[in-house]
Structure 1
Amino acid sequence: MTVLASALDTSGPAYTAHREAMLERLAAIGAEHAKALAGGGEKYTARHRARGKLLARERVELLLDPDTPFLELSPLAGWGSDYTVGASIVTGIGVVEGVECLITANDPTVRGGASNPWTLKKALRANEIARANRLPCIALVESGGADLPSQKEIFIPGGALFKDITRLSAAGIPTVAVVFGNSTAGGAYVPGMSDHVIMVRDQAKVFLGGPPLVKMATGEDADDEALGGAEMHARTSGLADHFAADEADALRQARRVVARLNWHKAHPDPAPAEPPKYAEEELLGIVPGELKVPFDPREVIARIVDGSDFDEFKPLYGPSLVTGWARLHGYPVGVLANAQGVLFSAESQKAAQFIQLANQRDIPLVFLHNTTGYMVGREYEQGGIVKHGSLMINAVSNSRVPHLSVLMGASYGAGHYGMCGRAFDPRFLFAWPSAKSAVMGPQQLAGVLSIVARASAAAKGQPYDDEADAGLRAMVERQIEAESLPVFLSGRLYDDGVIDPRDTRTVLGLCLSAIHTAPVEGVRGGFGVFRM
C-alpha cells in the first residue's frame, strides 16, 4: 500500500497552537484582500453604479459559466505602495462556455481604471500565464489609459502589453476585448489589436485623442460619439465587430464569441479523482508558527493528493527532501517537498535525477517549499555542496514540464531557486500566510552584517560600538522580517497570490487543468552540463 499514514495529533497542544497562529495570519490576509475588493471605495463605487454600470468583479461573474470557480491572480498587487491594493485591475482564470480563459477586468472605481506601474506588472503577468498555458484572453475594458503622474514608469515598458496581444494572436491564442467605457489614447490599441471586439452602446469610447486633444492639435470640434463611440465604430470605422445594447448584452455576446472559437484542450480531462483520506481542514495545524521548528511535509502531501496515495522516490536517500509520484485531481504529478529545511548534497542529486525522470515521462512537478537553503560549512563545501546545489538548479532551470510552487514555510537563499522560485518561471506560484522568503533569515542576515562590520573595525584598528551594533541588528532584523512576509512579496507580484492552506488542493487542481490546455512535454537530453 502506498497510501500515506498520518501521525498528526489534531488534539495535541502543538497542533492547536499552529492552527491558531495560522488562523490569525489568515485573518490579517483577509483584511488586505478586503481592500482589493473595495476598489476605489464607497464614493467611487456609488458614482459608478449611478451611471448604470457593473463593477469589475460583477462583470467577470456574469461572463463566467454559472457555478464555476474563478481563480483570481495577484489580488494584493501594489500592497505597500502608494497605489490602491489590487492595482486597479482584476485578473484570473475562469470557464466561459466550457473554455478555460484568462480574464482581465479594469476597475474603473480606482482613478477611472487608469494604469499605474503595478497595473502594468499585473497585466503582463496575466499575459505570461495565458501564453504559457495557451489560454484564450478576454479583456473587460474600461480605463482612462496611463495614470499620467506615473507615466515615466509606464510608457516605455507599457508597450509590452500591445506586443503581447499581437503575439498571442500570432500564436493562435484568441484575444477578445469587451469595451464598457473609456479605452483611450494608448488604451485604444487594446481593442485595436484584439481578434474580437465588442462595444457597449452609449458607453464605449475608443479614440487616440479625445475632444480636448483634437481641439488643441487640429482646431476641430468633435464630440465623444463622433470620435470614438460604439455606434460609430460599429457602423463607420469597423473597429467594433459586435454592437451591444448594454453591459449584460456585451457579456452575452462575449460568451457567444468564445462558444464559436472551436477551442480544444491539448489533453482530455482526467477521470474523476478520489479525495484525500485526511481532511483539508487539518492543513491549518501542520506548519509551526516558528519556522525553525521542522514539520513533516508528508502530512501536507497526504491532504492534497488523490486518495493520499504517494509513491515515494529514494525515501532513504537525501531524507531532507521528499520526492515522489502522485495524482492530483486526476492529473499525474511529481512532488518535491522540503522536510527538515536544509538541502544537502544528497538531496540536490536526488532532486536532479527526479526532475529528469519527470521530464522523460512528461509529468508536471509540484514544489512545496520549506527550506533555509543549501548547507554551508567546511565539511559540506569540501563535499561539493556548490556543484551539487548547482546540479539541482540546472535541472530546475532546464526542465520543460510545467512547475507549480507553493511556499508553505521558509524559502530562503539559493534553496528558493532550487525549489523553483519566481525567477525560475514556475507556471504558477502561491504562498501560504505562514511563508517567508529572503536571501536568509532576519537573524542570520543581521548577524552577518554585524560580523563584517566588526571585522572591518578591527582591520582599521578602531574600537567597535557594541551598543550601536545591537541597535543596527535590531533594525535590520525588523526590516528583513517585514520584507520576508507573504503580503509584502505578493504586493510585488513575486507570487500569484496568498492562499488559505485549505484551498491548496483546489488551487493546484485549477492550475493543472489550465496547464493541460497546452501540450505538456518534458525536455529530452537538453539539460546543461551537469558538474558531477
Structure 2
Amino acid sequence: MQPFKSLIATGSEDFARNRDAMETAIEQFRSVERLPQEAAEARAKRYHDRGWLLPRERLNLLLDPGTPFVELCPMAGYKLYDDTDGTGAGGGAICGIGYVSGRRCVVRVDNYAVKGGTISPAGMDKALRMQQVALENHLPVVTLAQSGGANLIYATETFAPGGRGFANQARMSAAGIPQVTVVHGGATAGGAYQPGLSDYVVMIRGQTGMYLAGPPLLKAATGEIADEETLGGAEMHCHEAGSGDYLAEDDADGIRIAREIVATLPHPEPKAQSAQKEWREPQYPIDDLLGIIPADSRKPYDVREIIARIADDSALLDFKTEFDNQTVCTHIRIEGHSVGVIGNNGPITPHGANKAAQFIQLCDQSGIPLLFLHNTTGFMVGTAVEQQGIIKHGSKMIQAVANTRVPKISIVVGGSYGAGNYAMCGRGFDPRFIFAWPNSRTAVMGAAQAGKVMRIVTEQKMERGGSVDTGVLDKIETDTAAFLDAGSDAISCSARLWDDGIIDPRDTRRLLGFLLETCREAEIKPGASNTFGVARF
C-alpha cells in the first residue's frame, strides 16, 4: 500500500473556518456530557456523609488505572421523556468498555446520584444495547448496582423491554459470559432480578437492600411488618437465603471483591493472541481532522483525506477507483489491524453500489473487518440511474451489508440520509459499534428537501381543490424543514441511541484501534457455554 498524498491546505482560511466550526460542535456535546456529572458532584457531601462513593468514584475504583475506557451512549435520553434540564443524559447509568484486573469488560455503574438512577425508556434501550455489546464481543459484565428502578411514569414502555433484559442475562450466562454485580443499595421488585440473574453477587453490610417487596409494600399487601435488614439485608442474603455470594464492608471493599472475581476469569488463550504488532503512525497530524470537514455541509471533500489521518503510515490500497469514485472502497491498517473501508464522496450511484457490494464480499471472504465512514445524501435519483438499475444494485449493497459475517464499525463523519444510512451500515443494520462526529446529521432526508417535498405534495392537493394559498405553502415548507433539522443533529440522534456516542474527531484512530482489538478478542471465546446458565440451588 502506498501513502496517500494529501491536498489539504492546512494554513488556509477555509481550514481555519472549518476548524472553528468543529471545535464549537465539540464543546456543545462535551457540555451535555458534563450535565449529569455536575449534578452528581453538587450532591457529593450528602452521599459521602452516608459513606457512599459517587458513581464515577466507584467507576474509577473498578477500572485499572491508566487504561482506556470507552464510554458508550452517554447522551441516551438527553431532553427526552421527563428530562427537562438535560441532567438525564446517560439514561441513569454510566456504561462502557474498560479493563478490570487486566480483563476487557462491559461495565455498568448506576448513576443513583441523578434522579435516583431511575430508568426511562431510553435508559432501558441503553441497558439492552450494553447486553448486545457483551454478547457480540464475548465480554464479561460488571455492574455496580444502585438504582431506583424503572421510572413508573413510563412503566408501560419499559415493562416488556425489561423482560428482554432478564432473558438476555440468562442467555449470557448460558453462553459462558460471566456477570458480576455489586449491590451497593436498594434492589427492589424487578430490580432484584438483575443481581439474582448475575453469576457472582457481592453485597455490602448495612447498605444492600434486596427484596421482591420492600417493607411498605409488604405491609400493604400482607399486613406483615418487617425491617429492611431482616427482609432483604446483605447479611440475611449471604447467611440464610444464599442470594449473595460475597459480603463486603463498604463501597470500596465491594469493588475490591468484584475486581478479584474478574481476576479469576479466564483470559483469551495466549496461543490465540497475535504477536505484538508494530506499525507506523499516520504521516499527517490527527488534529487535521478538525479542519478537513467543511463548515458548509454542501461543500464536497475527499473522504480519503480522513482515511489518510487514521491509517497506519497513511497508506491506502484503493479498489476500483476508475469504476466509481463517489463511493470509496480501500484497504488500510489501523494499529496493525487489516481493515476494509467504505466512504462517501457523494451520492451512491449504481456503479458505486455494485463496487461496494463486491468489496464487502471480498472482505467477508478474507475475514477483514469493515469500517464505514458515512457522508452521503443517499442513493442517486433520476431517470438515468433508474434505467441503470439503481434499485437492484442498491438492494444488493444493502443485502451485502446485512449479511456479511465480519465485524462492522460505523463512524458518521457527515450526513447520513435515507437509504444511504442503511447501505452504510446505520444503527438498523447492527454494526458492532457506531459512533458519530459532532458535526454529523442523520435523517430520512435533508431538512430543505423534506420541506420542498411537503410543499409540492400540499400544492398538488390545493390545485385539485381549485385554490392555492402560497402563505400556507411557505409555512408548511418552513415548519417541515425546521422540524427535521432540529431532530437530525448529532446530539438529538445520540439521545435516541442511533449511535454509541459522539466523539472528538481527534480520538477516531485511537478509538478504532481499541474497538478492532475488542472485535479480535471476541473471536477467541474463552468461556464455555452450557444450557441454562449458572444457577443457585
TM-score bucket (shorter structure): over 0.9
Secondary structure class of the residue paired with 1:95? strand
Greater CA drift, 76-85 or 270-279: 270-279
Q: Deviations over 1:44-82 (max 9, x none)?
A: 443222212111121111111110011000101111212
Aligned partner of 1:310 among 316, 329, 333: 316
Aligned match for 2:369, one of 364, 367, 372: 364
1:270 offset after TM fit, Å? 5.2
Q: Is 1:463 aligned with 2:467?
A: yes
| 1:442-476 per-position Cα deviation (integer Å, ceiling 9, x unaligned) | 1111111111111122223x211112211221111
- In 1, distance between residues paired with 2:221 and 2:12? 74
Q: How far, CA to CA, are the matches of 1:203 and 1:167 in structure 2?
A: 29
Equivalent of 2:292 in 283, 286, 294? 286
Give the TM-score normalised by the residue count of structure 2.
0.94
How does the TM-score come out when normalised to structure 1? 0.95
One-letter amino acid matched to 1:28: Q
1:277 maps to 283
Q: Does 1:49 align with 2:48?
A: yes
TM-aligned CA deviation for residue 496 of structure 1: 0.4
Q: 1:247-266 residue pairs with structure 2 within 5 A? A: 247-264=251-268
Question: Hey, what does 2:531 align to over in structure 1?
Answer: none
2:332 to 326, 330, 343: 326
Q: Is the 8 A contact 2:268 2:524 kept in 1?
A: no
Q: Does 1:186 align with 2:190?
A: yes
Q: Distance in 1 between matches of 2:522 and 2:39?
A: 33
In the alignment, does 2:496 pair up with 1:497? no
Match of 1:450 in 2: 455
CA contact (8 A) 2:357 2:396 kept: yes
Structure 1 residue 111 displacement after superposition: 2.7
2:428 is aligned with 1:428: no
Following superposition, the deviation at residue 516 of structure 1 comes to 1.6
Aligned equivalents of 1:275, 1:472: Cα separation in 2? 51
**How much has 1:274 moved relative to structure 2?**
2.0
Query: Which runs of structure 2 are paired with 1:119-198 in the superposition (5 Å)?
Result: 119-198=123-202
Deviation (angstroms), 1:385: 0.7
Whole-Å Cα distance in 2 between the matches of residues 433 and 520 of structure 1? 34
In structure 1, distance between residues paired with 2:53 and 2:237: 22
1:395, distance to aligned residue in structure 2 (A): 0.5
- Is this contact kept in 2: 1:39–1:107, CA < 8 A? no
Q: Deviations over 1:379-423 (max 9, x none)?
A: 111111110111110110111111000001111111111000000
RMSD of aligned Cα (Å): 1.5
How far did residue 41 of structure 1 move?
A: 6.5
Of residues 484-493 and 222-231 in structure 1, the stretch that sits farther from structure 2 once superposed is 222-231
Contact residue 270 and residue 330 of structure 1 kept, 8 A: no
Q: Does the aligned pair in 2 maintain the 1:267–1:519 contact within 8 Å?
A: no
The answer as to 2:7 corresponding to 1:7 is yes
User: Aligned pair in 2 of structure 1 residues 267, 163: CA closer, same or farther (>3 Å)?
Assistant: farther
Alignment of 1:59 with 2:58, yes or no, is yes
In structure 2, do the counterparts of structure 1 residues 270 and 333 end up closer, same or farther at CA, with 3 Å as the change threshold? farther
Q: Give the C-alpha shift of residue 478 in structure 1.
A: 1.1
- Please tell me whether residue 214 in structure 1 is matched to residue 218 in structure 2: yes
Match of 2:486, as an amino acid?
A: A
Deviation (angstroms), 1:520: 8.6
Counterpart amino acid of residue 319 in structure 2: F
Contact 2:282–2:311 (CA under 8 A) maintained in structure 1 = yes
**1:310 partner SS:** strand
Contact 2:330 2:340 in 1 (8 A): yes
Unaligned regions of 5+ residues in structure 1, if any? 522-532
Aligned to 1:387: 392
Equivalent residues, number: 518
Aligned-pair identity (%): 45
Structure-2 residue corresponding to 1:415 = 420
Instruction: Tell me if the contact between 1:197 and 1:242 (Cα under 8 Å) persists in the aligned partners.
Output: yes
Partner AA of 2:260 in structure 1: R
Change (3 A) 1:262 1:520: closer
Change (3 A) 1:268 1:39: farther
- The match for 1:26 is 26
Q: Is the 8 A contact 1:363 1:520 kept in 2?
A: no
Q: CA deviation at 1:39?
A: 4.3
Taking the aligned partners of 1:36 and 1:312, their CA distance within structure 2 comes to: 44
Question: In the alignment, residue 481 of structure 1 is paired with which amino acid?
Answer: D
Does residue 343 of structure 1 match 2:348?
A: yes
Contact 1:402 1:520 in 2 (8 A): no
Separation in 2 of the partners of 1:274 and 1:305? 9
Q: What letter is aligned with 1:19?
A: R
CA distance in 1, matches of 2:297, 2:289: 15
Q: Which residue of structure 2 aligns with residue 405 of structure 1?
A: 410
Give CA deviations for 1:343-394 in whole Å, capped at 9, x if unaligned.
Answer: 1011101000000000000011000011001111111111111101111101
